[in-house]
Amino acid sequence: MSKITPFLWFDDNLDEAIKFYSSVFKNHRLLYEVQYGDAGPGPKGTIMTATFELEGQKFMALNGGPMFKFTEAISMFITCDKQEEIDYYWERLSEGGQKSQCGWLKDKFGLSWQVVPYNLGELLAGTDRQKANKVMQAMLKMSKLDMSALEEAGK
């Protein structure tokens, strides 16, 4: 078990978010949820917090209301083995959200995600700086990342 678990604050739509993420990620499970009681501050019987897993990563979440919003300063990083996997997560997670540059997107809840090929770090950190710079230049022109184009740029 990991000592560190991301804690996500949702604007009264945590139940919808859990259903959405469970439809996107094949390996998912709801570990537990806690409902608001008589003391509030949310309506009694509505979900207050939940703990769930996506692809083995545990998350805790709060139905906290509109006070705090997600920003791009924190994002979820998905490492993909194949272009088909990049395509799948890119399209599914951006439904109702916003596509950005260099593999970044925001889902319909405003949470930022990076959908990247498994070897991106290796391509960008290679000892041949000229090749690494070509990979960076290619990536900067992309919205959804193209694994074969990045690998070709690194040759």
Cα(94)–Cα(106) distance, rounded to whole angstroms?
6
End-to-end C-alpha distance for the chain, whole angstroms: 39
How confident is the model at residue 3, as a pLDDT?
Answer: 92
- Kindly report, as residue ranges, where domains of CATH 3.10.180.10 are found in the chain: 70-155
Q: Contact 102/144 with Cβ under 8 angstroms? A: no
Q: Name the H helices within the chain.
A: 14-24, 83-94, 120-125, 129-140, 147-153
pLDDT digits (tens, 9 = 90+) for 94-118: 999 999 999 999 999 999 999 999 9
pLDDT digits (tens, 9 = 90+) for 113-137: 999 999 999 999 988 999 999 999 9
pLDDT digits (tens, 9 = 90+) for 49-73: 999 999 999 999 999 999 999 999 9
- Kindly report, as residue ranges, where domains of CATH 3.30.720.100 are found in the chain: 1-66
Q: Kind and range of the H or E element at 66? A: none
pLDDT digits (tens, 9 = 90+) for 5-49: 999 999 999 999 999 999 999 999 999 999 999 998 888 999 999
Q: What fold characterizes domain 70-155?
A: 2,3-Dihydroxybiphenyl 1,2-Dioxygenase; domain 1 (3.10.180)
How confident is the model at residue 98, as a pLDDT?
Answer: 98
Cα(131)–Cα(24) distance, rounded to whole angstroms?
34
Main-chain dihedrals φ then ψ at residue 21, nearest 5 degrees: -60, -35
The listed CATH number (3.90.245.10, 3.30.720.100, 3.40.50.300, 3.90.1150.10) that belongs to domain 1-66: 3.30.720.100
How large is the angle between the packed helices 14-24 and 83-94, nearest 10 degrees? Answer: 160
How confident is the model at residue 40, as a pLDDT?
Answer: 81
Locate 14 and state its tokens. 């945590």
How confident is the model at residue 2, as a pLDDT?
Answer: 81
